[in-house]
Amino acid sequence: MMTRILELAFRLAWKDLRMEFRSRQNFLTVLFFAFIVIVIFNFAFEPGSPAIRESAPAILWVAFLFAGILNLSSAFIVEKEEGCLLGLLLAPMERGVIFIGKFLSNMMFQLLMELLIFPVFLVFFNIELRGGWLWFLLVVILVNTGFVAVGTLFSAMTIGLKTREVLLPILLFPVIVPVIIAGVRATGLVFQGSPGSDLGSWLKLLGGFDLVFVVVSAAVFRFVVEEAS
């Protein structure tokens, strides 16, 4: 049963990836937006000033998450064209599979964008991670999990609305504030090279919120998507 659910979810995610990399409609826009944010913030600060190092974690997450919003807001557009969402609802699978599939594809797009933008950020802000790579990777995965889970749900919720692009961040950011704060704090500790027990606390907090967000989003998704069809 679980194998079948995962197989179908990966099929859905693979379909999204294949379509996106053929059309390249969305990903390049998202990538360029994240790059622009990094560049603008870099010019806003005096080179080498303490302020730039203190603000770097927040700037990084502003770039990642605001660009991520662009990706999330179009995640279901492709399903709305030609009634494909109804086509998925009519398929003999639980509606949660659609959520998992969309979550996986959104997560992959988000991580790929971050993978390409992060080296640029390191160069512009002159930051060395030294031995903190694994901690940073863990923070990135945890922040993205909460962000993408709630974002996927809200993206489905706003699919039929003309003001979708405006409404999505307004709905999403207040909900994921705890994840953003924990992500920024944890990233700051990793950048300072002093993980310690404080980092552990932030990671636990992120893990807790992720668990709640993923479970609630997956449970509510069915009702949202049936309404949206």
Instruction: Give 53 or 95: the residue with its C-beta nearer to another protein.
Output: 95
Q: How far is the CB of 86 from another protein (least distance, A)?
A: 7
Rule CB under 8 A: choose which of 45, 94, 164, 181 binds another protein.
94
223 binds another protein (CB under 8 A): no
Residues 9, 5: Cα–Cα separation, whole Å: 6
Q: How far is the CB of 3 from another protein (least distance, A)?
A: 12
229 binds another protein (CB under 8 A): yes
Residues 183, 188: Cα–Cα separation, whole Å: 8
19 binds another protein (CB under 8 A): yes
Rule CB under 8 A: choose which of 62, 89, 129, 212 binds another protein.
89
Residues 165, 159: Cα–Cα separation, whole Å: 10
Q: How far is the CB of 79 from another protein (least distance, A)?
A: 9
Instruction: Give 23 or 194: the residue with its C-beta nearer to another protein.
Output: 23
Contact 229, 159 (CB under 8 A): no
Complete DSSP assignment for 167-218: HHHHHHHHHTHHHHHHHHHHHHHHHHT--HHHHHHHHHHHHHHHHHHHHHHH
